[in-house]
Chains A and B, each alone.
Chain A
Amino acid sequence: QKEVEQDPGPLSVPEGAIVSLNCTYSNSAFQYFMWYRQYSRKGPELLMYTYSSGNKEDGRFTAQVDKSSKYISLFIRDSQPSDSATYLCAMSAVYNAGNMLTFGGGTRLMVKP
């Protein structure tokens, strides 16, 4: 079983819909949680960066972390066709040294006009 699980999708929604993307994880040492957006054949782009539990909002994006359930979510409001991409969750822990990220497999999102 992978440390971080993510539904691969694809998830298809109409323009303007609210999108919910989720990840579950097994390592309780994870304390930092990120969401990246990756367009085809491009590098991942950092969308949200959160620490421990709680919510964080940035424009149309809201990240939620529930450490008790080992579950994180990304909500996209008023989704646009330009949001069509693969969304990757990533996590890191405060280990002795370094800052390695552990990624989920990514969810492919398609927003249809």
Chain B
Amino acid sequence: DSGVTQTPKHLITATGQRVTLRCSPRSGDLSVYWYQQSLDQGLQFLIQYYNGEERAKGNILERFSAQQFPDLHSELNLSSLELGDSALYFCASSVGDGPTYNEQFFGPGTRLTVL
């Protein structure tokens, strides 16, 4: 158990809908990261927040947004869902911001199925 929690574990929804994925980082970690894992694209970085501020952005679609709250939990919002958004979404956390001695620990993931 990495100490990172994600809810829900599974989500089934229809095209065009909007969903919210939630992540709680390990105790003491200030950075939260979101990744998408699909069969064809592998594990792809979406976005990073550090202590409430956006720090890095990857290949995140405009239909997707995220935020980190004062209690450091984070939410990833996915809207106007398409079939291709079906994937595993992982949250990870680390103590600090940059890569120096800053290992990322992953949560169990949320499996999103868009029908």
Q: Which A positions have Cβ atoms within 8 angstroms of B? A: 31-32, 34, 36, 41-46, 49, 51, 88, 90, 92-95, 97-106
Contact = CB atoms under 8 A, between A and B. Distances in A.
B17 interface: no
Closest 6 A/B residue pairs (Cβ) = A98-B56, A43-B106, A103-B43, A92-B99, A100-B45, A98-B55
Interface residues of B, number: 30
A44 B43 contact: yes
B31 interface: yes
B99 A94 contact: yes
A36 to B, nearest CB: 8
B15 interface: no
A97 B99 CA distance: 9
A76 B112 CA distance: 33
Interface in B25-70: 31, 33, 35, 42-45, 48, 50, 55-56, 58
A14 B106 CA distance: 29
A99 B108 contact: no
Given A41-B111, A95-B56, A100-B56, 7 more contacts: A32-B99, A43-B107, A97-B98, A99-B94, A101-B104, A103-B44, A105-B42
